[in-house]
């Protein structure tokens, strides 16, 4: 949430900042702003997207070789010009951008008001920049020391970048529980909330650690200290990312590109981890912990949103195949409970971004209970990847569309590999079934390709539901979490209210909603509960609901009962979600486009939810 960029070096900072903000816009787009240091500090900020900011900055064309920028997802105060970042100190000499929340900002604001400070915005960030200036003038210390002193008083989560007109060729950055990456150039430094804006400038980066402050000055080495003022050795990492991964590649939206990338991303997730011919699976991250996990009393899978849905499918997979008890819990609940977790348990944290505040906090919360913590993460080097004891990357590549698609199927692929490997270690599967699972998993990318080829059919169906106000998604067994995911995709990008339910639960309440205006999307591919699904479809039709069914190729019975059907290739039941979710992603996408919604940047949402 919120994107931060900064530059200090020999080049003109302004274009670097604007490009960086465009790359980071998926993190929040309520407002955007920049501050560039020249003879004085030029601060320009605007409500709305970076395009709105550009209309103003183009006229001013600020010049200067250092600057900071921000794209905002509002927490404290409405999205408007005044609350936009950067925020300035009382004397206008210091400017600051911030991602996170300062929890004790009211107390700090009152204390500063007593000292004569006047605030123009409603933000917590403005309080922090005033506090920094207060220490700078009171103790006559360099910027970094005044930042350190101010942060001693702050409670909360933050990544900040500070610039000072008195020392214009210096940038000070600090973080606690919000991500920040420093790019090392040729006598220059770049800063960003994640690596995406850095890749076009440098591949050498340093991930700032929690409670560290860094001073960036061209001509000098990167200087990092802990909040306790102890020097830290920077650990330089080489980025493994290509610029073209951050472009739309000819698609109208990132979301559509990412849906269409799934045959490759699923294959990438399996690469080197599955061999269909020799019938083995091997997750390198799992191997050293295989015994401990296989013998675990219980796995507790945690995450948020789409990652939580993947976790629910993980429960079906791991319990079904490896016979290890699994619980799935929202990270936002786990972090505030006093759960019974002990050293015999394993906590599996699922996160695309690796930065979700609730998931990170849940990990910290359960850490001292002695359980092994295993991360399943997409973004390499992210906070969750670093705080977990062990883990596996899903290798889906950068996911830019706010609605998660390719990360979800990569998470399912990883969880399938994990379940199969655990099952093998525990000896819970017949060899023939084990071989079939591996063979079928290796076929999934081709089968996804087959579904993607039906895009036009799905688009026609989208036309029939685009004006609906509500929609119901029903699924049983492995398809129940897919129903939840399908409903989430529709509501988050098209703003149609949608609910996902286990199909059998329909008669315990939701059936009351069904009439001729209610599209009911039924995931009807499970062979094990086929007759029951047929009954559910009949129940919907009896109430005049419009049935859109996702069926296995060749299924005539449900096709005839349905108003519309999308046929998907057959697979074995535990792997069904990898296929059945794909038409739902495309359906949501087309409905949202037809309704004129901003598919990649839905209102009120942000990609990386780094605040509570
Ligand atoms: C939905 C979506 C969100 C995320 C959730 C967790 O399309 O993207 O629900 O799944 O915010 O994010 P990660 O996986 O980054 O922890």
- State the DSSP string of 126-186: HHHHHHHHHHHHHHT--HHHHHHHHHHT--EEEEEEEEETTSTT-EEEEEEBS--EEEE-S
* Predicted local distance difference test score (pLDDT) of residue 61: 87
Q: How confident is the model at residue 260 (pLDDT cuts 50, 70, 90)?
A: very high
Which token pair is 574? 């535990």
- CATH match of 450-612 with 3.30.930.10: no
pLDDT single digits (tens) 591-610: 999 999 999 888 877 767 76
Strand 66-72 vs strand 189-192: parallel, antiparallel, or unpaired? unpaired
**Is residue 257 annotated as part of the catalytic site, yes or no?**
no
* Predicted local distance difference test score (pLDDT) of residue 216: 98
* Predicted local distance difference test score (pLDDT) of residue 392: 96
* Predicted local distance difference test score (pLDDT) of residue 247: 84
pLDDT single digits (tens) 469-528: 999 999 999 999 999 999 999 999 999 999 999 998 988 988 888 888 899 999 999 788
Q: What are the boundaries of each domain within the chain?
A: 3-243, 247-442, 450-612
Give distance in angstroms: CA of 44 to centre of ligand 1.
Answer: 31
Question: What does CATH list as the number for 247-442?
Answer: 3.40.50.10490
Percent of the chain's residues with pLDDT above 90: 83
* Predicted local distance difference test score (pLDDT) of residue 490: 98
Instruction: Please give the average per-residue pLDDT across 429-437, as a whole number.
Output: 96
The sign one gets for the Cα dihedral 339, 340, 343, 344 is negative
* Predicted local distance difference test score (pLDDT) of residue 564: 97
pLDDT single digits (tens) 179-212: 899 999 999 999 999 999 999 999 999 999 999 9
Give distance in angstroms: CA of 313 to centre of ligand 1.
Answer: 15
Instruction: List the one residue out of 570, 582, 356, 306 whose CA is nearest residue 458.
Output: 582
Judge whether residue 333 has pLDDT over 80: yes
Q: Cis bond leading into 484, ω under 30°? A: no
* Identical fold, 3-243 and 450-612: no
The response to whether residue 552 sits with its C-beta less than 6 Å from ligand 1 reads: no
Give distance in angstroms: CA of 304 to centre of ligand 1.
Answer: 6
Judge whether residue 611 has pLDDT over 70: no
- The answer to whether 18 and 57 are in contact (CB under 8 A) is yes
pLDDT single digits (tens) 161-177: 999 999 999 999 999 98
pLDDT single digits (tens) 555-565: 999 999 999 99
Mean pLDDT of the chain: 94
The response to whether residue 306 sits with its C-beta less than 6 Å from ligand 1 reads: yes
- The answer to whether 590 and 458 are in contact (CB under 8 A) is yes
Selecting from 3.60.20.10, 3.40.50.1820, 2.60.120.330, 3.90.25.10, what CATH number does the domain 3-243 have?
3.60.20.10
Cα–Cα distance for residue pair 339/498, rounded to 1 Å: 31
* Predicted local distance difference test score (pLDDT) of residue 511: 83
Pick the atom of ligand 1 nearest to 359's CA. 16
* Predicted local distance difference test score (pLDDT) of residue 602: 85
Cα–Cα distance for residue pair 542/425, rounded to 1 Å: 48
Instruction: Please give the average per-residue pLDDT across 146-171, as a whole number.
Output: 95
* Predicted local distance difference test score (pLDDT) of residue 294: 96
Q: Which of 22, 489, 491, 607 is catalytic?
A: 607
pLDDT single digits (tens) 525-551: 978 888 889 999 999 998 899 999 999
């Amino acid at each position: 949430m919120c994107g931060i960029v900064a530059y200090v070096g020999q080049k003109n900072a302004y274009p670097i900042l604007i490009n960086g903000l465009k790359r980071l816009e998926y993190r929040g787009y309520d407002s955007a702003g920049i501050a560039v240091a020249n003879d004085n500090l030029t601060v320009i900020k605007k409500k709305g997207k970076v395009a709105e900011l550009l209309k103003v900055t183009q006229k001013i064309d600020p010049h200067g070789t250092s600057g900071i920028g921000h794209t905002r997802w509002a927490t404290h105060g409405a999205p408007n010009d005044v609350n936009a970042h950067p925020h300035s100190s009382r004397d206008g000499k210091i400017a600051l951008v911030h991602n996170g929340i300062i929890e004790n900002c009211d107390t700090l604001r009152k204390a500063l008001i007593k000292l004569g400070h006047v605030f123009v915005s409603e933000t917590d960030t403005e309080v922090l920049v005033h506090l920094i200036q207060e220490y700078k003038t009171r103790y006559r210390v360099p910027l970094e020391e005044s930042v350190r002193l101010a942060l001693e008083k702050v409670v909360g989560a933050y990544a900040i970048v500070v610039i000072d007109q008195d020392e214009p060729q210096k940038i000070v950055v600090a973080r606690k529980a919000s991500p920040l990456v420093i790019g090392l150039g040729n006598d220059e430094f770049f800063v960003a909330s994640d690596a995406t804006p850095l890749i076009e400038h440098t591949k050498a980066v340093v991930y700032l650690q929690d409670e560290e402050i860094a001073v960036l000055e061209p001509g000098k080495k990167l200087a990092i200290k802990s909040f306790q003022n102890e020097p830290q050795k920077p650990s330089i990492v080489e980025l493994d990312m290509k610029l073209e991964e951050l472009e739309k590649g000819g698609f109208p939206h990132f979301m559509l590109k990412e849906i269409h990338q799934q045959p490759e991303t699923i294959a990438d997730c399996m690469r080197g981890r599955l061999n269909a011919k020799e019938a083995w699976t091997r997750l390198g991250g799992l191997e050293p912990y295989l015994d401990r996990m296989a013998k675990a009393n219980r796995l507790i899978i945690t995450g948020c949103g789409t990652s939580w849905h993947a976790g629910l499918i993980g429960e079906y997979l791991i319990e079904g195949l490896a016979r290890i008890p699994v619980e799935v819990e929202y990270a936002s609940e786990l972090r505030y409970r006093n759960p019974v977790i002990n050293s015999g348990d394993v906590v599996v944290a699922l996160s695309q971004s690796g930065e979700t505040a609730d998931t990170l906090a849940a990990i910290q919360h359960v850490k001292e209970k002695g359980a092994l913590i295993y991360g399943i993460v997409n973004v390499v080097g992210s906070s969750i990847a670093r705080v977990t004891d062990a883990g596996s990357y899903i290798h889906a590549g950068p996911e830019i569309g706010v609605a998660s698609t390719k990360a979800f199927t990569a998470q399912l692929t990883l969880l399938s590999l994990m379940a199969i490997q655990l099952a093998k270690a525990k000896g819970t599967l017949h060899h023939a079934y084990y071989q079939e699972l591996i063979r079928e998993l290796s076929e999934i990318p081709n089968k996804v390709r087959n579904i993607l080829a039906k895009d036009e059919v799905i688009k026609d169906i989208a036309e029939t539901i685009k004006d609906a106000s509500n929609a119901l998604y029903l699924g049983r067994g492995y398809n129940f979490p897919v129903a939840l995911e399908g409903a989430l995709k529709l509501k988050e990008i098209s703003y149609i209210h949608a609910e996902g339910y286990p199909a059998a639960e329909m008669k315990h309440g939701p059936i009351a909603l069904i009439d001729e205006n209610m599209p009911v999307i039924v995931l009807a591919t499970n062979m094990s509960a086929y007759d029951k699904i047929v009954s559910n479809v009949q129940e919907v039709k009896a109430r005049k609901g419009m049935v859109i069914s996702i069926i296995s190729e060749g299924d005539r019975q449900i096709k005839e009962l349905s108003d519309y059907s999308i046929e998907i290739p057959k697979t074995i039941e535990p792997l069904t979600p990898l296929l059945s979710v794909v038409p739902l992603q495309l359906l949501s996408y087309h409905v949202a486009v037809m309704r004129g919604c901003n598919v990649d940047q839905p209102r009120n949402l942000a990609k990386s939810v780094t605040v509570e």
